[in-house]
Structure 1
Amino acid sequence: MKKTITAIFLLSTIFLSAQNSTVGVEKQLFKVNLLLTPGLEYEVGVSKNSTLDFRLGTGLAYVKVNDDEDYGVFLNFEGAYRYYYNFEKRASKGKNTSGNSGNYVALTTFLASGDPIIGDLESDTDYIGQVGPVWGFQRTYNSGFNLGLELGLGYTFSDSDSFVAPIVGFRLGWAFGR
């Protein structure tokens, strides 16, 4: 089964990257996310419409149980394979596609430390990870201002538990190298 899924994925990637077009992803894009979840991000083009995105930064967790509220800011590493699907449509309408401004579907993953660097959220685990599909969009404006949103559902795991949880990512920052 794994070989079949891998073969389908590779063939679809080859087919999608073989289509002719004048619009495509940036060869590389470096982003500094400053607001909400600070971090450094590097997105590299691997085909006409696909990128690999790597982020080293922080993530926010908030938990409310009955009347008790706790939060924590955690160090994390994220990686994603993104497929941008609407560059042609955006370009035909005269909209910006530079800086990978478009909508995408992605397979994303992250790994975070179990202890917060800021906050009072206590954890009995050494790490937490998550992997899953997301839908997202990214916009990069002429000034370099960059914003992005991702929504999805992922398999979450740690050294003590596993469960299904929502994936929500929101970033504000600046993009360089476009």
Structure 2
Amino acid sequence: MKLKFSLFLIVCLYINIYSQENISVEKNQFKINLILPGIVYEHGFTEKNTLYSEFSLGFGYRSSYFGGNTWSFYPNINEQFRHYYNLQKRADNGKRTDKNSGNFLALNAIYNFESISTKKDFSEDTSSFTIAPVWGFQRTYKGGFNLSVNGGIGYNIDKYDNEFVPVINFSLGWVIGK
């Protein structure tokens, strides 16, 4: 009886040790963003940390009594150092963790270039830089469909003013590659 019990314990321990996978972020991941047309590259540094780099085309709308309604179109660069903190918990609950599906905390830096609008009715905004701590989540579903949302309070610096601003990023797109 002791031998059977000992063998049972050894088998259970062996299965438990070798069935646990090393949950970590993707080493390299490319995405296409559809809402603000752009491309994204996310590079994994460690098991839970990535550098998220996005180049996209942003837009703005302004309504003024004196200036009328104006639109602006501008390229921007969005960099985030992300820490995914719940990958193991998601895996333990049978949820997806592949392609960086998880919740994260990040330090976000956004540079908005000057407006590339050329029509008279378009605004000629200046460039700006925003830095913000953000919380967010990212999910990648079968077929590579990707959803990412994050937000926080940031500090914006431009030629005319420095101020605290809300920072909200929302993207829908597809993961390219494997």
Consecutive aligned runs of 4 or more in structure 1 exceeding 3 Å deviation = 62-71, 116-121
Q: What pairs up with 1:68-107 in 2 under 5 angstroms?
A: 69-107=69-107
State the partner residue of 2:31. Answer: 31
Q: What pairs up with 1:34-53 in 2 under 5 angstroms?
A: 34=34, 36-53=35-52
Question: C-alpha offsets along residues 32-82 of structure 1, whole Å, 9 cap, x if unaligned?
Answer: 112x20101000001110000111111232334569544323101111100
Q: Once the two structures are aligned, what percentage of the paired residues are identical? A: 38
TM-superposed deviation, 1:169: 0.6
Q: Judging changes above 3 Å, is the alpha-carbon distance between structure 1 residues 66 and 84 closer, same or farther for their aligned structure 2 residues?
A: farther
Please, what is the CA RMSD of the aligned residues?
A: 2.2
Once the two structures are overlaid, the 10-residue window that deviates more, 156-165 or 96-105, is: 156-165
Q: Judging changes above 3 Å, is the alpha-carbon distance between structure 1 residues 74 and 49 closer, same or farther for their aligned structure 2 residues?
A: same
Unmatched runs of 5 consecutive residues or more in structure 1: 1-19
State the partner residue of 2:114. Answer: 114
- Matched letter for residue 172 of structure 1: L
In 1, Cα distance between equivalents of 2:163 and 2:124: 16
- Matched letter for residue 113 of structure 1: F
Structure 2 contact 58–75 (Cα < 8 Å) conserved: yes
Unmatched runs of 5 consecutive residues or more in structure 2: 1-19
TM-superposed deviation, 1:134: 0.5
Structure 1 contact 28–177 (Cα < 8 Å) conserved: no
When Rg is computed on C-alpha atoms for both structures, the one with the higher figure is: 2
In 2, Cα distance between equivalents of 1:124 and 1:70: 10
TM-superposed deviation, 1:142: 1.8
TM-superposed deviation, 1:21: 6.9
In 1, Cα distance between equivalents of 2:89 and 2:54: 28
Taking structure 1 as the reference length, the TM-score comes to 0.79
Aligned residues: 157
State the partner residue of 1:155. Answer: 155
Q: Judging changes above 3 Å, is the alpha-carbon distance between structure 1 residues 66 and 98 closer, same or farther for their aligned structure 2 residues?
A: farther
Q: Judging changes above 3 Å, is the alpha-carbon distance between structure 1 residues 118 and 147 closer, same or farther for their aligned structure 2 residues?
A: farther
TM-superposed deviation, 1:117: 3.7
TM-superposed deviation, 1:160: 2.2
- Matched letter for residue 46 of structure 2: S
Q: What pairs up with 1:12-27 in 2 under 5 angstroms?
A: 22-27=22-27
